[in-house]
Structure 1
Amino acid sequence: MLVVVVRTLILYLIVVFIMRIMGKRQIGQLQPFELVIAIMISELAALPMQDIGIPLINGIIPILTLLFAQITLSFIGLKNPHVRAIICGRPTILIQNGKINEAQLRKEMYSLNDLLEQLRIKDIQNIADVEFALLETNGQLSVIPKSQKRPVTPQDLNISTQYEGLSMDIIIDGDISYENLKLANLDINWLKDTLSKFGINNPKDVLFASLDSEGNLYYQVKERGNK
């Protein structure tokens, strides 16, 4: 039993490490060749877990080989757009100027029901409102509404807006991020003084606190039972 546990943990760590190297993308964002490699890696890792008669190295070597193949293909695709087009394909225009491209639908085996469902998810109720709808290489549908149907922006109204940067997490579940405090050119004394103004004497009582680009502190204290 201990052997099974150890083998499982080793393979788990290897697979997590490999998936981390492959990049931060969800399953739905993977290119076809990346999805195939992910499935094959999971199958190769499962076999030595189920059968302890299979040497562990027989699972590790093919997994590392697939990782090498994935990195190689990705590198070639970055350097050569033509090779990337062969490996990953090109986006397909399914709707152009409010008209459905039936030939491309049949080619991609994409049904009208699938198309209408994806448009509804994008809050598009009328195909006539769509300038372009493209089926991306990862299977997601990108929709560009006609200019008259797009939401109004401050630029359209000639309204100037202030810069909005990323907020910084200062406290998460009572733990202070000293690194983010330093990036904001602040220190623990400033944090304690600011919290004390809100009647909070101990940062451990704070569930979450963040600092926006204008220096405003947002905070939420823990519920009494969770302190």
Structure 2
Amino acid sequence: MTTILKAAAAYLVVLFVIRLIGRRTASQQAPMDMVVLFMFGGMSVSAVLGDDHSFVGAMSALFTVGLMHVGVSWLRIRFVWLERVLDGTPIVVFRTGRFDETAMRRLRMQQADVRTAARQQGLDDLDAVAAAVVERDGTISVLERE
């Protein structure tokens, strides 16, 4: 029973910490971001299972995390406010030729990230960009001027 409670707690803690870290880890996967995610997994497993190296213990933890994920997904659908807390909302970081430095600092983004996203959409000059929005999953959507 303690394995199940530890797995449930670990799921919630890792979810909170990943949300706290921000969108960059979820979407861009720089090497340092991948290291953090792998370390989370390793630390969580040792914290949940401890000295229990049994198959039943591991499967209990696995099913608990899976059920926690299903439960949290269901709660996100049912309660819009929880979806906003867990997934965030789109954030405009560039509009009408100006960067929103405050939003970019909060997201730990650089202007180069927006310029890269614009180039990936075939826009070499930011004068052709109406707005750039960091989506909930961390990707950058670039809206072209008309």
TM over 0.5: yes
Q: In 1, are the aligned partners of 2:97 and 2:127 still within 8 Å (CA)?
A: yes
CA distance in 1, matches of 2:86, 2:39: 17
Aligned twin of 2:33: none
1:1-227 correspondence runs (5 A) = 28=27, 43=42, 54-147=53-146
Large movers: runs of 4+ above 2 Å:
38-44
CA distance in 2, matches of 1:79, 1:113: 37
Q: C-alpha deviations, 1:46-80, integer Å up to 9, x for none?
A: 87xxxxx8101111111111111111111111122
Q: Partner letter of residue 138 of structure 2? A: G
| Higher relative contact order (Cα pairs below 8 Å, separated by 6+ residues) | 2
Q: In 1, are the aligned partners of 2:118 and 2:129 still within 8 Å (CA)?
A: no
Q: Partner letter of residue 138 of structure 1? A: D
Shift of 1:40: 8.7
Q: What number of residue pairs does the alignment pair up?
A: 107
Q: Quick one: structure 1 residues 39 and 80, their matched pair in 2 at CA, closer, same or farther if it must change by over 3 Å?
A: farther
Q: In 2, are the aligned partners of 1:41 and 1:63 still within 8 Å (CA)?
A: no
Q: Quick one: structure 1 residues 39 and 65, their matched pair in 2 at CA, closer, same or farther if it must change by over 3 Å?
A: farther
Shift of 1:98: 2.6
Which segments of 5 or more consecutive residues in structure 1 lack a partner in the other structure?
1-26, 30-37, 48-52, 148-227
**3-state SS in 2 of match to 1:116:** helix
* Percent pairwise identity: 16
Q: In terms of Rg, which structure is larger?
A: 1
The alignment yields a C-alpha RMSD, in angstroms, of: 2.8
CA distance in 2, matches of 1:41, 1:105: 25
Q: C-alpha deviations, 1:143-176, integer Å up to 9, x for none?
A: 11112xxxxxxxxxxxxxxxxxxxxxxxxxxxxx
Q: C-alpha deviations, 1:165-197, integer Å up to 9, x for none?
A: xxxxxxxxxxxxxxxxxxxxxxxxxxxxxxxxx
Shift of 1:117: 1.6
CA distance in 1, matches of 2:135, 2:65: 25
Q: Quick one: structure 1 residues 106 and 137, their matched pair in 2 at CA, closer, same or farther if it must change by over 3 Å?
A: same
* TM-score of the aligned structures, taking structure 1 as reference length: 0.42
Q: In 1, are the aligned partners of 2:117 and 2:141 still within 8 Å (CA)?
A: no
